[in-house]
Amino acid sequence: MRKEECEYIKKCVYQNIAVVYYGRVALSQVYHLFSDYGSLEDIEKCLDSFVKEGIAEKLEGKIYVFKDIAARFEKKWKDQLQNLETQKNIILSEIDKKENELKILNELYNLWYNGWEKVEDQSLKSGIKNYISIFWQSTIKEYAKTLQELKNDLSSVEENITKLKNMLETGG
C-alpha cells in the first residue's frame, strides 16, 4: 500500500468513520470499506499508525478506540444524562404536587357532594349534586389527565436515561 493511500484511509477513518461509531472502529469495518486499497494486513498496519501516534488504542478483537472522539461523546452523553436527571427530578416534583392537589380535590368533592343531607327538597338536592358532580368531576379529570401526561413524560425521560447509561457503559 502506498503512503498516500494509507493517509487517505486514515483521514477517512478519523474524520468520518470514527465519529459515526462514537470513537470505536473495528478493523473489519475499515477493511470492508477500503479492501480495494490493500490487504487486511496493510489496512491493519495503516490503522496501527494511529496507535503509534497515540491517537488511538488497539483493543482485543482489533478494535481501535480514538480517545479524543470517544471522550467528546462521553462528555456529551454525561451532560445529556445530567440534564435528563434534572428533568426527571422536576417531573417527579410536579407529579407529587399534582397527586396532592388531586387528593385535595377529591376530598373537597366528597365534602361538597355529601354535605347536602339536611336539604329536604329532593329536586333541589339532586340539582345541586348534579352541578357539583359536573363541576368537580371535570376539574378532577383535567388534573388526572395532566398527571397521566406527567407520568408518560417521566417514563420517556427514564427510558432515555437508561439508554444513555447503556451508551456510557458500552461506549456507544
What pLDDT is stored for residue 128 in this prediction?
85
At 8, the amino acid letter reads Y
List pLDDT tens digits, range 115-125: 777 788 888 88
User: Max alpha carbon distance in the chain (Å)?
Assistant: 103
List pLDDT tens digits, range 69-107: 999 999 999 999 999 999 999 999 999 999 999 999 989
Taking the C-alpha atoms of residue 130 and residue 61, their distance in angstroms, rounded to an integer, is 73
Whether residue 132 has pLDDT greater than 80: yes
Produce one character per residue of 60-70: b if its CB has 16 or more CB atoms within 10 Å, e if not: eebbbbbeebb
DSSP character string of 21-50 = TTTEEEHHHHHHHHGGG--HHHHHHHHHHH
What pLDDT is stored for residue 41 in this prediction?
95
